[in-house]
């Protein structure tokens, strides 16, 4: 488990990178890291391209108490639910990236598994991607739904909202979120065309390592 200062530097750098590459926009999305001092998370109302190490919120994961910094994201409960469900997970990335959100709005999306395994990297980094029922952003009624689902998977799609990715560190969690976005983009590009996803036998040899996803995938 890393220290607060190191986690803050990682969050600031990743937030700027995600925003610059249009994987988030405006004041959407939030990032968190479990540290030795608590869960460090981006503040409410903040843009990921304008974060500062001393302007992140620190939350106690046990009693949800706001320890220091500005008010945390209104979706902090989402991150804490994932950490409870996946004790080995150390980071969570929640994005509103364009193609992942489009997929979450698509009427034909399979709620049990939103995307087929189109590529080896998707199979390795994501695996199964369930879609959770719609809740308004900040609606705490989503919390038990997230916690239950995250016990079985480390990647989730929130209906008409965006993706949630958890992993053993922030870089790995971002890799998962980016793989969801890129595979959703591929899915839309291929929509209506004959498509050859990986077979069950091919995906079986590409299982996501538990050490990277903070628990069973």
Using DSSP, state whether 180 is helix, strand or coil. helix
β-strand pairing of 38-41 with 30-35: antiparallel
- Mean pLDDT of each 10-residue bin along the chain, 217 residues long: 95 97 94 96 94 96 92 96 96 98 95 96 95 94 96 97 97 97 97 89 75 54
Domains of the chain: 4-213 (3.40.225.10)
Cβ proximity of 1 and 34 under 8 Å: yes
Residues near 144 by beta carbon (within 8 Å), at least 6 away in sequence: 81
Measuring CA to CA, which residue among 183, 164, 176 is closest to residue 213?
Answer: 176
Q: Which of 6, 90, 121, 122 is catalytic?
A: 121
Q: How many other C-beta atoms are found inside a 10 Å radius of the C-beta of residue 192?
A: 7
pTM over 0.85: yes
- Per the structure block, which two tokens stand in for 125? 């980094």
Q: pLDDT tens digit string along 16-62?
A: 999 999 999 999 999 999 999 999 999 999 899 999 999 999 999 99
- Per the structure block, which two tokens stand in for 32? 């968190």
- Per the structure block, which two tokens stand in for 181? 């976005």
**Is 121 an active-site residue?**
yes
**Is 75 an active-site residue?**
yes
């Amino acid at each position: 488990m890393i220290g607060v200062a190191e986690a803050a530097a990682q969050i600031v750098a990743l937030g700027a990178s995600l925003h610059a590459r249009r994987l988030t926009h405006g004041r959407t999305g939030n990032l968190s890291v479990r540290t030795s001092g608590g869960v460090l998370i981006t503040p409410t109302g903040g843009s990921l391209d304008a974060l500062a190490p001393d302007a992140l919120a620190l939350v106690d994961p046990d009693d949800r108490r706001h320890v220091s910094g500005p008010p945390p994201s209104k979706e902090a409960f989402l991150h804490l639910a994932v950490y409870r469900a996946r004790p080995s997970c150390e980071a969570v990335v929640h994005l509103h990236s364009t193609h992942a959100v489009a997929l979450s709005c698509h009427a034909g999306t399979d709620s049990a598994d939103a995307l087929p395994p189109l590529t080896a990297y998707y199979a390795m980094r994501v695996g199964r991607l369930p879609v959770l029922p719609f809740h308004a952003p900040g609606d705490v009624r989503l919390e038990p739904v997230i916690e239950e689902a995250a016990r079985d998977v480390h990647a989730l799609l929130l209906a008409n909202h965006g993706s949630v990715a958890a992993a053993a560190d922030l870089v790995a969690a971002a890799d998962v979120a980016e793989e969801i976005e890129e595979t959703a983009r591929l899915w839309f590009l291929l929509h209506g065309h004959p498509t050859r996803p990986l077979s069950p036998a091919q995906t079986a040899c590409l299982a996501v390592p538990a050490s990277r996803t903070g628990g069973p995938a």
